[in-house]
């Protein structure tokens, strides 16, 4: 997710300890590299590398850094692998400016080429450096610093927050577009951060700038101006009263609930990133031309691959084989070759089962690509290239936002394979927010009603089949109840005998499959089951199911994706009602690096 922190003091002082402490408070966002820069009397001191905060701080003696202004940054790689040169902050060509960002600049690749052509010294692949050169470009053209920053804002596309300072100055400047940023005002200093936790121990007096505003920070005051016309905007400071723990969880009681509510934002960022990624088209070509196309993962990532395979078939008319990684080794690896393509899907990029399958595929010469959240993980290094999921750190063990972004990535790839306009997918974030709003109270009351049951089913068909599998996995994982996910049409082939009065059965109803789902509903209803239907508003579903949990209208593929949100909420509420901690379910760990 990356995090930035900046500090402006009234005098030169030991800033190292302040920057290290602030970086430590940002670590919960996830990171692979750390850097710090101080500025004073015409000099910039920059120290950075990959690794943990304490290790990088010790290696480069960051504690001894002094200055009147300082910046620290924690990097979560998306553009460019984790490395010293890609770590942030970054310098401009001459070393006069230093800046850092969090988020993604999606036209990074094009802008870098322009800056190189304009004669600037571009040292890394990182988009944080691109932000610095974007300002440098206008300085080179003779603009004042504040105007250069305003013009740079217009050139940088994506979702990010950015801070920059000059060696010979007494201020820092910052702006944001789509990402969070908070300004702190203390006694004899001002500061800024990607979010509140790194500011709170210093001051509870904050200003929250909006997109399209430039903030100038002096030690004793802060000025907010509009990017558009440079006019000053009056923003009064507010006093924050929440505890540090509540702030880290964004005011939510658990990370899982916070991450469920982050899904719209990370989906928006992902779609922007895919629009700007040079890796997408070559991958799409490989997928289209493959003899056989395999989508390989475990657990939740396998479910995303399964939804993806339905999208690819429905939209692009191509068969894609979703397969659990260990089964890939047993069933397909002996038969694959260089004409085949495999996409290995993993949140962590470290799941041993997935890496074993990758090794088996590579031995046979198969073309191997990845989808992973943790850039710099083994999977991202071992595949030809790996698309980032762009979710930031997922702390809660149950995967939520990484699942939906895996599914969005497959939907995006299926659109591109089919030659469809991906603009239509920009509706997804808003539809996700609407879904959460629409279903929240009803899901909580259903959770209460069925919480006494320790056995249930979750059924789907087509694209909602794997959504049902995912809902069942979430329910098992954090409620410790048995919940089986199944193709709805299979239920009559055996499990029907388990139905008794009140037995909960959840149906994920795809908008094109309503008649089929209704047959399933009636089959179990006449035997006493309590039927909970997740689908779009439909008089037939309302007349047949006991509860209809309505999700917004969209097309069949997006609708399937939206259907997982009520299931995530249901499992969350049931887990909390049972007195469990959904973030850290017993016996499980976030990353499974064992066979």
Supply the residues annotated as catalytic: 2, 590
Binder to ligand M6R among 346, 479, 554, 557 (CB under 6 A)?
346
Residue number, 298 or 532, with CB nearest to ligand M6R? 298
Dist. CA 311–CA 297, nearest whole Å: 17
Q: Residue 367: what are its φ and ψ, rounded to 5°?
A: -80, 120
Helix (H) or strand (E) holding 56: helix 53-59
> Are 155 and 162 within 8 A, CB to CB?
no
Provide, rounded to whole angstroms, the least separation between the CB of residue 571 and ligand M6R: 10
How far apart are the C-alpha atoms of 472 and 64, rounded to whole Å? 52
How many residues of this chain interact with ligand M6R, rule: CB under 6 A?
A: 16
* Closest approach of ligand M6R to the CB of residue 450, in Å: 20
| Distance from chain centroid for Cα 316 | 26
Site string for ligand M6R, 459-488 (x = CB under 6 A): --------------x---x-----------
In angstroms, give the least distance from the CB of 346 to ligand M6R: 3
In this structure, what token pair is assigned to residue 73?
Answer: 């940054």
Q: Which of 299, 308, 535, 552 binds ligand M6R (CB under 6 A)?
A: 299
Transcribe 535-579 into DSSP letters: EE--HHHHHHSSEEEEE----HHHHHHHTHHHHHHHHHHHHHHTT
Residue with the CB atom nearest ligand M6R in the bound state:
299
According to the binding rule CB under 6 A, does residue 592 interact with ligand M6R?
Answer: yes
Does the protein bind ligand M6R through residue 348 (CB under 6 A)? Answer: yes
Task: Verify binding: residue 301, ligand M6R, rule CB under 6 A.
Answer: yes
Nearer to ligand M6R, 153 or 255 (CB): 255
DSSP letters, 137-201, are HHHHTT--HHHHHHHHHHH--EEEEEEEEESS-S-EEEEEEBS--EEEE-SSEEEEESSGGGTTT
Binding of residue 571 to ligand M6R (CB under 6 A): no
Question: Which residue, 367 or 567, has its beta carbon nearer to ligand M6R?
Answer: 567
Q: Which residues of 557-577 are buried (b: 16+ CB within 10 A; e: fewer)?
A: bbbbbbbbbbbbbbbbbbbbe
Q: Is 358 in the site for ligand M6R (CB under 6 A)?
A: no
Applying CB under 6 A, among 102, 347, 571, 575 the residue interacting with ligand M6R is 347
Nearer CB in complex with ligand M6R: 70/398: 398
DSSP 328: I
Identity of the residue, 299 or 520, whose beta carbon is nearer to ligand M6R in the bound complex: 299
Judged by CB under 6 A, the stretch of 191-199, 344-352, 458-466, 502-510 that binds ligand M6R is 344-352
Task: Tell whether residue 108 is a contact of ligand M6R (CB under 6 A).
Answer: no
Cβ at position 470, least distance to ligand M6R in Å: 8
Torsion of CA 547, 552, 557, 563, to 10 degrees: -40
Smallest gap, in angstroms, from Cβ of residue 576 to ligand M6R? 16
78 binds ligand M6R (CB under 6 A): no
In degrees and rounded to multiples of 5, residue 292 shows phi and psi of -130, 145
Nearest to 459 by CA among 552, 528, 524, 385: 524
Length of the chain: 595
DSSP state of 209: P
Residue from 38, 277, 300, 306 touching ligand M6R (CB under 6 A): that is 300
Binding footprint of ligand M6R on the chain (CB under 6 A): 298-301, 346-348, 351, 354, 397-399, 473, 477, 591-592
């Amino acid at each position: 997710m990356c995090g930035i922190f900046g500090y402006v003091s009234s005098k030169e002082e030991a800033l190292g300890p302040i920057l290290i402490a602030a970086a430590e408070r940002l670590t919960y966002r996830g990171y692979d590299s750390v850097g710090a820069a101080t500025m004073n009397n015409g000099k910039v001191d920059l120290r950075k590398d990959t690794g943990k905060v304490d290790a990088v701080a010790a290696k480069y003696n960051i504690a001894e850094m002094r200055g009147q202004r300082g910046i620290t940054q924690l990097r979560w790689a998306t553009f460019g692998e984790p490395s010293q040169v890609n770590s942030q902050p970054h310098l401009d060509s001459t070393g006069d400016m230093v800046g850092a960002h969090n988020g993604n600049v999606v036209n990074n690749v094009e802008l870098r080429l322009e800056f190189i052509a304009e004669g600037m010294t571009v040292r890394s692949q990182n988009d944080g450096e691109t932000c610095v050169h974007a300002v440098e470009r206008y300085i080179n053209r003779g603009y004042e610093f504040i105007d250069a920053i305003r013009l740079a804002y217009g050139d940088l596309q994506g979702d990010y927050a950015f801070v920059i300072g000059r060696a010979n100055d007494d201020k820092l400047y910052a702006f944001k577009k789509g990402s969070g940023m908070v300004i702190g005002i203390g006694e004899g200093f001002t500061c800024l951060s990607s979010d509140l936790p790194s500011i709170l121990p210093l001051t509870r007096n904050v200003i929250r700038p909006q997109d399209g505003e430039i903030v100038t920070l002096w030690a004793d005051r802060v000025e907010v101006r509009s990017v558009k016309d440079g006019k000053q905007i009056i923003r009064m400071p507010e006093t924050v009263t929440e505890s540090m723990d509540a702030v880290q969880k964004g005011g939510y009681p658990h990370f899982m609930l916070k991450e469920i509510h982050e899904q719209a934002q990370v989906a928006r960022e992902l779609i922007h990133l895919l629009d700007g990624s040079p890796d997408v088209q070559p991958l799409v070509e490989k997928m289209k031309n493959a003899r056989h196309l395999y989508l390989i993962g475990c657990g939740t990532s396998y479910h995303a691959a399964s939804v993806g395979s339905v999208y690819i078939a429905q939209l692009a008319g191509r068969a894609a084989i979703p397969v659990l990684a260990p089964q890939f080794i047993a069933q397909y690896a002996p038969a694959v070759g260089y004409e085949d393509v495999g996409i290995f899907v993993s949140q962590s990029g470290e799941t041993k089962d997935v890496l074993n399958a990758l090794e088996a595929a590579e031995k046979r010469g198969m073309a191997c690509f990845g989808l992973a959240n943790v850039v710099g993980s083994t999977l991202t290094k071992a595949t030809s290239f790996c698309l980032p999921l762009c979710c930031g750190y997922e702390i809660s063990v149950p995967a939520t936002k990484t699942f939906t972004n895996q599914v969005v990535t497959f939907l995006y790839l299926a659109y591109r394979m089919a030659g469809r306009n991906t603009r239509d997918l920009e509706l997804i974030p808003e539809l996700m927010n609407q879904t959460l709003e629409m279903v929240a109270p009803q899901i909580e009351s259903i959770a209460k009603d069925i919480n006494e049951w320790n056995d249930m089913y979750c059924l789907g068909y087509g694209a909602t089949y794997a959504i049902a599998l995912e809902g069942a996995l979430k329910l098992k994982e954090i409620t410790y109840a048995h919940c089986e996910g199944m193709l709805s049409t299979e239920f009559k082939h055996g499990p029907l005998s388990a139905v008794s009065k009140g037995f909960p059965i959840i149906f994920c109803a795809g908008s094109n499959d309503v008649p089929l789902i209704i047959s399933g509903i009636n089959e179990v209803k006449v035997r006493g089951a309590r039927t909970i239907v997740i689908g779009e508003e439909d008089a037939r579903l309302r007349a047949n199911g006991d509860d209809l949990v309505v999700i917004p209208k969209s097309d069949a593929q997006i609708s399937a994706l939206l259907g997982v949100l009520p299931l995530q909420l249901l499992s969350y509420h049931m887990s909390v009602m049972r007195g469990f901690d959904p973030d850290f379910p017993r016996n499980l760990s976030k990353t499974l690096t064992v066979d």
